[in-house]
Amino acid sequence: MNSGIDSILEKFQNIFPFNLLEDGQITDCLNNFEYLECSPGTRIFSRDEKADHLFFVLEGTVRISGDRKNAVVSNAELGPGDRFGEEAIQRGGSRRTDAVSVTATSLLLLKNRDLVLLENKYPLLRDRFSLLAQSQKVSSDLVLPWLAPAEKIQLISRRHKIIPFLRLLLINLVGLAAFSLLLFASFSSRDFNQLLMVMALLVLLMGILAGFWAAVEWANDYFIVTNFRVVAQRQLYGFFDSRQESPVSAILSTGFDTSLLGRLIGYGTVNLRSYTGEIAFKKLPFPQSIFDYLEHLREQATREKKEEERKGIEATLAGRLGGVEAGKKSKTQAKSQPHPSSSVYQSSSSMDWLARFFQLRQVKGNSIIYRTHWWILMKKTLVPFLLLALLFVGFLGRAMGLFTSIPETPFYAATLGLTVISALWWLYQYLDWYNDQYVLTKDQLMDVSRKPLGYEDRRSAPVKNIQTVEFKRKGLIGLLLNYGTVRIQIGNEELTFDDVYAPSQIQAEVYLHLKKYQDEQQRAEGQRMAEWITTYDQIKRSKDDGNKEQR
């Protein structure tokens, strides 16, 4: 590691958690690392191998793939500053993934025995490494279909393990106490009371089910950080399913707080402050470490954004000065950016087929139109539909010789009149449903509510001001039929897409739309900056030419 040591040290200083150390300590840590260069296609390690090294990428790209095809580690591509092989943090572990270099790659390797030495020498590193190992363990089998192209998981955490334990303890104590009291009352009664015995068994069964439910609920709550956004995903079977997220660029500051019990056990609340207020993630393990990591990611995102802007301006200037190659590069960069998914509602499932049949999502030009779930249409049109069905049955009954006590002419006239009224009522309710639209354009979000024979209410907000995007599915019907509300915070305003089908997919599409808009604005800003520089260069040249002529 004598060659290019200064360059390696400069990059190493920006790698978490070593960036938390002093300069002398960072240099000391670097002396424990090995340097490795890989050519494209080099297999770095394979599944089930002994995990004896932790890796950090200095340059190049590494592909990580796991057993599960759709897990977050499958087909993940890591770049400079990323880490992999966290199984080595837990001594005696084995690899759960494969790692292959995609391009010419430079890596830093840390043996697990040296890692232990560094943890003992610098205790600050111990919790940070434990957090990274825990995150890798959780993410190895996790499937997140809403991840955008090129989006990488940086950190995943559940609430502290003590939380389900305390819940199980409380539920079991209450259940056992109630079971014991009922059982005692049953046996101590003058005649053996079978009802009390049945109630005691039911209480015991309910306690077991409640404990299992609490454990499953804890397992489905995630705090997720990617290179694009911060996400809180929660799911409570039979009650609700929600995901709240905020772009990293919208986070103004981070913080954490702990109670006395939290400090003793090792959990706390991590707070993210954005333009719209505060998002709190409660009872997370290693709150100080998570706080440090979030601060590191915010600083890294700022550096990467500046670097992207610099490269974009450089490519634009090169293109203006006659470089066709630069134009190709800019096109390649544009292709690498995530675009709104065209697979929304396109699966072969019956629910997606119904969504397409009822046109719950329409693409018109550059606009995407969403409508409320077909179940809402069914509820709106239920009464007129039942009236039409009743009138049809009455008509058939009369044709078959029933209702002969009613004169024929008045009966058919009343049936015809009521049929026309019911049909018009059904049509009115259908148009009322059809005209309620949520529109996503290139740079606007709109909520349009239009009555067939009445007013039209239209609310809109710019895409660029989106701060947080959240969805919720509530109730058993909402979970079974997969509909809910997408809440979009835009500055001090809030837009809600109510009762839409597959709100998680709409949330992801809105977010990708925001990302695409930001990328386009960044490229446009680069073009404007390049025009300024080109204009300045032209003016300077013209003045220089004028001065030469005067001489």
Q: 290-348, pLDDT tens digit by residue?
A: 989 888 888 887 777 777 777 777 777 676 665 444 444 444 444 444 444 445 676 66
**The amino acid at 43:** R
In a domain, 427, yes or no: yes
Looking at the structure, tell me whether residues 118 and 168 fall in a common domain: no
Residue 440 neighbours by CB under 8 Å, 6+ apart = 367, 368, 369, 370, 446, 463, 509, 510, 513
Largest CA distance in the chain: 125
- How far apart are the C-alpha atoms of 241 and 221, rounded to whole Å? 10
Looking at the structure, tell me whether residues 116 and 187 fall in a common domain: no
Looking at the structure, tell me whether residues 489 and 396 fall in a common domain: yes
444 near 368, Cβ under 8 Å?
A: no
In a domain, 278, yes or no: no
Looking at the structure, tell me whether residues 378 and 495 fall in a common domain: yes
Among candidate residues 218, 245, 264, the one where a domain is terminated? 218
**The amino acid at 522:** Q
* In the block, residue with structure tokens 């008045």: 410
Looking at the structure, tell me whether residues 202 and 99 fall in a common domain: no
**So what's the pLDDT on residue 39?**
93
In a domain, 296, yes or no: no
How many separate domains does the chain show? 3
Looking at the structure, tell me whether residues 166 and 120 fall in a common domain: no
Looking at the structure, tell me whether residues 64 and 176 fall in a common domain: no
Pull the structure tokens for residue 407. 């004169």
Among candidate residues 107, 125, 143, the one where a domain is terminated? 125
Is it true that the peptide bond before 17 is cis, omega within 30 degrees of 0? yes
Looking at the structure, tell me whether residues 63 and 175 fall in a common domain: no
**So what's the pLDDT on residue 338?**
42
**So what's the pLDDT on residue 33?**
93
Instruction: Write down the pTM of the prediction.
Output: 0.65
**So what's the pLDDT on residue 336?**
42
In a domain, 154, yes or no: no
**So what's the pLDDT on residue 511?**
76
**The amino acid at 475:** G
Q: How many CB atoms lie within 10 A of CB 195?
A: 10
- In what side-by-side order are the strands of the sheet with 267-274? 251-257, 267-274, 277-285
Among candidate residues 218, 238, 258, the one where a domain is terminated? 218
In a domain, 153, yes or no: no
User: Residue 26 forms beta bridges with which residues?
Assistant: none
**So what's the pLDDT on residue 54?**
92
In a domain, 383, yes or no: yes
Looking at the structure, tell me whether residues 50 and 191 fall in a common domain: no
In a domain, 531, yes or no: no
Looking at the structure, tell me whether residues 384 and 459 fall in a common domain: yes
Looking at the structure, tell me whether residues 193 and 72 fall in a common domain: no
Distances in whole angstroms, Cα of residue 252 to Cα of each of 129, 275, 283, 302, 515: 26, 7, 22, 12, 18
Looking at the structure, tell me whether residues 104 and 170 fall in a common domain: no
Pull the structure tokens for residue 445. 């979000």
Three-class SS state of 238: coil
Spans in the chain with pLDDT lower than 70: 1-4, 67-75, 190-193, 237-240, 274-278, 317, 319-344, 346-348, 548-551
Pull the structure tokens for residue 277. 């207020």
In a domain, 72, yes or no: yes
**Domain range for residue 209?**
162-218
**The amino acid at 312:** G
- Residue 431: HSE in the Cβ half-sphere, 13 Å Cα cutoff: 12
**So what's the pLDDT on residue 330?**
44
User: Cα(first)–Cα(last) distance of the chain, in Å?
Assistant: 57
Query: Which CATH number do you get for residue 111?
Result: 2.60.120.10
